[in-house]
Amino acid sequence: MAGHSKWANIQHRKGKQDKARSATFSKLAKEITVAAKMGMPDPDMNPRLRLAIKAAKAVSMPKDVIDRAIKKSQMGDAADYTEMRYEGYGAGGIAIIVEALTDNLNRTASNVRSYFTKAGGNMGQTGSVSHSFDRVGEISYPLAAGSADDVMMAAIEAGADDVETDDEAHWIYCKVEDLAAVSDALEAALGESTESKLIWRPQSRTEVDLETAQKLMKLIDLLEEDDDVQTVTHNFDVPEDVAAKL
């Protein structure tokens, strides 16, 4: 499988810092509401809701905002959101997967298509790029959780499939259906994780030059600024010399 992208980590953290907190909270609250509406409003009985709350806590979302999002799911006037996945290619033929929660399919599809076009890419059919990714569970731990060997042993015992450690964190991967169980087992062994979520993990990564990276970052920024878009996943990486120029 492809190694974890250090550039993706840096870009992701920078994005979180640069975005307005209210916009980030809004997307997380939407996921909490949808998760609670689709299943039980009790996180102990609803793995998706438990993951959504964990993601919210990871960015310090206040408890009252989380509770409000859960209560909203039980109200009769709560909006009906549809989960959508859009796939396409950015500059340089880079594969991109966009996941959205929307109450207006036409609006979201039109917006996403326009972002691809503006940034020199093109949107494809569902399945056109997802075959280059694996759908897996990802659990991250700070380096302070233990040595690479200790974390690997704990992950193997918990039922994980793969572990990577870089100078940012420990990254543990497992099957989608095993995420809740592996996460719980790791928590018992290593303490609370930084984040647990489902991701599209690229099977390989492509390094890009400065011009291509700039076009791709423009596309990602446009997508992430859209209120309907929840996640954006890609399979490119940026060499250190190019990252320095960005």
Structure tokens at 160: 């994980």
CATH 3.40.50.12780 fits 6-73, yes or no: no
Pairing of strands 170-174, 229-234: unpaired
pLDDT value, residue 59: 85
User: What count of other Cβ atoms lies within 10 Å of the Cβ of residue 200?
Assistant: 23
Residue among 103, 37, 45 at smallest CA distance from 72: 37
Mean pLDDT of all residues belonging to the chain: 89
6-73 and 132-202 agree in CATH topology? no
Pick the range with the lowest mean pLDDT from 121-125, 135-139, 165-169, 242-246: 242-246
**Got the DSSP string for 81-104?**
-EEEEEEEE-GGG-EEEEEEEES-
Judge whether 203 and 134 are in contact, CB under 8 Å.
Answer: yes
Rounded alpha-carbon distances, angstroms, from residue 106 to 30, 72, 97, 201, 222: 19, 25, 18, 28, 18
Q: What are the sequence ranges of the domains in the chain?
A: 6-73, 82-131+204-245, 132-202
**CA pair distance 83, 77, nearest whole angstrom:** 19
Percent of the chain with pLDDT over 90: 68
pLDDT value, residue 39: 81
Report residue 1's pLDDT band, with 50, 70 and 90 as the boundaries.
very low
Segments in 74-209 forming alpha helices (H)? 105-118, 148-158, 179-190
Q: 């929840």: which residue's tokens?
A: 230
Task: Flag whether pLDDT at 11 surpasses 70.
Answer: no
**CA pair distance 57, 195, nearest whole angstrom:** 9
Its CATH class, for the domain covering 132-202, is alpha beta
**SS3 call for 136:** strand
Q: Which amino acid is at 233?
A: T
Task: Flag whether pLDDT at 220 surpasses 70.
Answer: yes
Query: Which architecture, in CATH terms, is 82-131+204-245?
Result: 2-Layer Sandwich (3.30)
**CA pair distance 218, 3, nearest whole angstrom:** 24
Compute the average pLDDT of residues 158-177: 95
Pick the range with the lowest mean pLDDT from 57-61, 162-166, 203-207: 57-61
Compute the average pLDDT of residues 164-181: 94
Compute the average pLDDT of residues 215-222: 94
Which residues have C-beta within 8 Å of that of residue 63, sequence separation ≥ 6?
A: none
Task: Flag whether pLDDT at 7 surpasses 80.
Answer: no
Pick the range with the lowest mean pLDDT from 73-77, 135-139, 161-165: 73-77
240 vs 119, residue with greater confidence: 119
Task: Flag whether pLDDT at 6 surpasses 70.
Answer: no
pLDDT value, residue 177: 93
